[in-house]
Amino acid sequence: MTTRAGFVALIGEPNAGKSTLTNRMVGAKVSIVTHKVQTTRARIRGVALEGDAQLVFVDTPGLFTPRRRLDRAMVAAAWGGAADADVIVLLVEAHRGITEGVERILDGLGDLGQGRTIALAINKIDRVKAEVLLALSQSLNERFTFAKTFMISAERGYGVDDLREWLAGEMPEGPWLYPEDQIADLPLRMIAAEITREKLTLRLHQELPYQLTVETEKWEERKDGSARIDQVVYVSRDGHKGIVLGKRGETIKAVSQAARQELEDFLGRRIHLFLQVKVRENWQEEAERYSEMGLDFRDGNS
Ligand SMILES: Nc1nc2c(ncn2[C@@H]2O[C@H](COP(=O)(O)OP(=O)(O)OP(=O)(O)O)[C@@H](O)[C@H]2O)c(=O)[nH]1
Ligand SMILES: [Mg+2]
């Protein structure tokens, strides 16, 4: 049997639904999702099978105009993911259409050069009427030569099977890149940190989610089959620490409970999760924080 395997990079503006689509394709939650922009910070790989093809989806941070070092490193990681992929899928939100951000991404795709297979996936079609979709598809295809256009709802699963089938046919012939039963390649300690960051992002308001990072410091296997996980939430200001902890520690407690629950479901075992909040004014300028996140610190140089 000839097998196929390759990388599919999902790119788009923040919040376009890249992580939702990754999880949908994989059939499990490998990348965190929130209603807020800039949730994903590094490239997350999720593996899906379609017939004789193995598709390695590369979920990327959203593309936006970066201001901080962290932003620049995220955007560089996203374009790097696109540059390395066999096929690029650009996600555009149906109800938002061709925003300035989408325009800039189209320019960037043009700069990547010829000879690449780039498909368009108009996502969140559950939010608009058919006429809007057709007009948007037409304008986008006038603006850029896509290999193919899909109309999907990553959340509800519409159009996703067609996209996966087409992608499978586009993959180069070759042996599979991961063992058949592997769905992700992020180390468990990073997945655990991401789950906690998701719960923090869902609970904290405005800028705060962007001002913190989570790291797994210790992972201890216990004889009874459970594990003790110690994580640190780095914030940049004293005031932020107070907010993350919440009144009488209520916020951090709720976050910890939600994260532990999800970790237990994910790992299928008992977890004891301990969160500590530390103020570290300059964490966004520390190389080690970036390597912990799976980002390249130097990409953040302006
Ligand atoms: N209505 C609707 N909402 C969707 C759909 N796909 C994703 N969403 C929602 O859009 C929001 C953002 O989804 P994500 O998957 O986190 O988006 P992302 O592109 O990974 O975002 P970043 O990581 O910030 O770049 C979440 O609230 C999702 O539930 C869809 O097909 N329809
Ligand atoms: Mg994401």
Whether residue 59 is annotated as binding a ligand: the answer is yes
Question: pLDDT by residue (tens digit) across 30-42?
Answer: 999 999 999 999 9
Is residue 249 a known part of a binding site? no
Whether 4-170 shares its CATH topology with 188-300 is answered no
pLDDT(5) > 80: yes
Taking the C-alpha atoms of residue 73 and residue 50, their distance in angstroms, rounded to an integer, is 32
At residue 1, does pLDDT exceed 80? no
Question: Residues near ligand 1 with C-beta < 6 Å?
Answer: 12, 14-20, 33-35, 37-40, 61-62, 123-124, 126-127, 153-156
Please give the full DSSP string across 173-187, using - where no structure is assigned.
BS--SS-TT--B-S-
The residue-averaged pLDDT of 264-278 equals 97
The closest residue, in CA terms, to atom 7 on ligand 1 is 17
Whose C-alpha lies nearest to ligand 1, atom 16?
A: 33
147 closest CA partner among 122, 123, 166, 174 = 166
Kindly list the domain boundaries of the chain, sorted by start residue: 4-170, 188-300
- Centroid of ligand 1 to alpha carbon of 201 (angstroms): 14
Answer yes or no: is 201 a known binding residue. Answer: no
Average per-residue pLDDT for the chain: 97
**Architecture label for domain 4-170:** 3-Layer(aba) Sandwich (3.40)
Angle at 204 between CA 198 and CA 209, to 5 degrees: 60
Cα(260) to ligand 2 centroid in Å equals 21
CATH class belonging to 188-300: alpha beta
| CB-CB neighbours of 124 under 10 Å | 23
Nearest CA to ligand 1 atom 10: 17
Per-residue pLDDT tens digits for 225-257: 999 999 999 999 999 999 999 999 999 999 999
Phi first, then psi: what are they for 156, rounded to 5°? -90, -15
Give the per-residue pLDDT at 115: 85
| pTM tops 0.85, yes or no | yes
Chain position carrying tokens 């970790």: 263
pLDDT at 302: 80
Output the CA 196–ligand 2 centroid distance in Å.
Answer: 15
- Across 92-96, average pLDDT: 98
Q: Kindly state the average pLDDT of the residues 174-199.
A: 96
Q: Is 63 annotated as a binding residue?
A: yes
CA distance 80 to 1: 32
Q: What's the gap in Å between 230 CA and the centre of ligand 2?
A: 25
